[in-house]
Amino acid sequence: MGFENLLNKTAIVYRRNIYSTNSFGEKNYILNQANSFSCALQPSREEIVFHRGGKDYVATNIMYCDYDEDIQPGDYVDIDNNRYLVLSVQDDGGRGHHLKCYLKRN
């Protein structure tokens, strides 16, 4: 059984884009769909904390996908009608085979 056969779910990726800026210089964002791809999703079995923008986030799930997929920390993914924040994207094993993404369920 190849790695691709384990990717039994579909992830829809949304990326934040600047929509407007107010008179105080604060940016308003809008989410635009970036792409979609096959993935595998598992619950996290340990408590891993990520620090982003002055906040602490605990990873609730781990997503695996092909190495060539366009996904970045800060993106949102929808899988099975649930939305997740992408906390970290790592080259799992360091060989350019697949990505391991830590997610927080919203």
Residue 6: the pLDDT is 84
Over the chain (106 residues), the average pLDDT of each successive run of 10 is: 81 93 90 95 94 93 95 96 97 88 96
Residue 56: the pLDDT is 96
Q: What is the CATH number of the domain that holds 67?
A: 2.40.10.370
The structure tokens listed for 98 are 């697949």
Number of folded domains that form the chain: 1
Question: 96 has which bridge partners?
Answer: none
Residue with tokens 């384990």: 6
Which structural domain range is residue 101 located in? 3-105
Q: Other C-beta atoms within 10 Å of 77: how many?
A: 25
Query: Which long-range contacts does 24-33 make (Cβ < 8 Å, 24+ apart)?
Result: 31/76
Residue 80: the pLDDT is 96
pTM: 0.87
